[in-house]
Amino acid sequence: MKTYLELDTSENSLFCRIEIKKGQFIEIEEGLIGEKGQKRRTKPKIEIEKAFLDLIEKYIQKGYIKSDEPTIEISTELLNLLDCKDIVIGLKKYFRYLVVSDEILPVFNAIMDTGKEVTIKDNILNIEFDTATLRASLPLKGKSDKDYSSWPKSFQEIVKRHSWIEFPQMNWALHLGDIKHKNKTFLSYSEILKNAKCDIPNYINDPSKIFCPFIDYGSFIFYHPTIKNSYGEPALFSADNVNYKTEKPVDWKVGDLFLLKAARVIDLDHTNIVLPEIPYI
């Protein structure tokens, strides 16, 4: 017997899988939807099926809902990357959608030139580079995608492939995506902006209008509610929850900005690639 449940909150999308094993144990697996969860086993002192049903009821009382279990969907493009004999060529073709401006293309190529290995493990795409590892979520089949129609078009195009992409570090990550579950400050975006003395009060007081597509270690990158970039999309600006300050918006789309940040993770500063200036952000 097995039951799968999900819980969507303002911070996370969680799952719980409860299963009777060998008629003696109950195995519970919990975690973020789309990733491998943490497992534990228990041996009930009461009749196994009753304990199984009681456990399900406890999760339902917490707000979990029974659901069909989603499966991972491997796209044709991703299969082509996994099967590609030349990793660098495969990476350049697969991740080209991140690049917007011609100025970023040499940076993108230099990053991908350091690619060494592509694997899928625990429902996560892993790309090994010379000096860092990139992780990316895999699309789920059987679960409706979150509605990103209010977000900028360039962001919508990115999350069609992967809902998040990151270079993980010890405490923070360089993380691109709808990153509420990566908010390790345990503060809401409104609180972060208030702490940073953001001068857009109506924006701060309406969390539904606050879109944060990016974390760069201690900085949260937001879309500005009124200022546009040269592409006609909301401009990106930084709110620093460590030094409590916000900065003026910059004229980059989110894919290009992620690649500029990734170039420093990959350590391209020590190559002959000239990286464009990124003021503050």
Cα Rg for the chain, rounded, in angstroms?
21
- Among 69, 101, 116, the domain boundary falls at 69
Instruction: Indicate whether 218 and 252 sit together in one domain.
Output: yes
The answer to the question of residue 157 being in a domain is: yes
Co-location of 235 and 123 in the same domain? yes
Q: What residues contact 248, with CB distance under 8 A and at least 6 apart?
A: 237, 279
CATH number for position 10: 2.20.140.10
β-strand partners of 165 = 136, 176
Tell me: pLDDT of 278 over 90. no
The pLDDT value given to residue 111: 94
Q: How far is CA 168 from CA 11, 98, 270, in A?
A: 19, 19, 21
The reply to whether 113 and 206 lie within a common domain is yes
- Please indicate, yes or no, if residue 279 is contained in any of the structural domains: no
Residue 144 to residues 68, 73, 139, 140, 190, Cα–Cα distance (Å)? 11, 13, 10, 8, 27
CA angle 154, 179, 102 (to 5 degrees): 30
122-to-38, 39, 41, 174 alpha-carbon distances in Å: 11, 13, 19, 20
Residues 172, 248 within the same domain: yes
Q: Please give the pLDDT value at position 257.
A: 92
- Same domain for 48 and 148? no
126 and 13 in one domain?
A: no
What confidence tens digit (pLDDT) does each residue in 39-59 have?
999 999 999 999 999 999 999
Whole-angstrom distance, CA of residue 197 vs CA of residue 144: 36
Residue 162 shares a structural domain with residue 250: yes
Q: What is the pLDDT of residue 138?
A: 85
Helix (H) or strand (E) holding 193: helix 189-195
Residue 170 pLDDT level (bands cut at 50, 70, 90) = low
The domain of 85 spans 72-270
> pTM value?
0.80
pLDDT, mean of residues 13-31: 92
34 and 152 co-located in one domain: no
Residues 137, 173, single domain; the answer is yes
Average pLDDT over residues 264-278: 72
Domain stop point among 69, 100, 125: 69
The most confident of the ranges 35-49, 77-91, 247-261 is 77-91
Q: Who has greater pLDDT, 178 or 157? A: 157
Q: Is 278 inside any structural domain?
A: no
User: What token pair was written down for 103?
Assistant: 């100025």
Task: Quote the CA–CA distance of 34 and 71 in Å, as a whole number.
Answer: 9
Say yes or no to pLDDT of 37 above 90. no
Domains of the chain: total: 2
Domain-embedded: residue 281: no
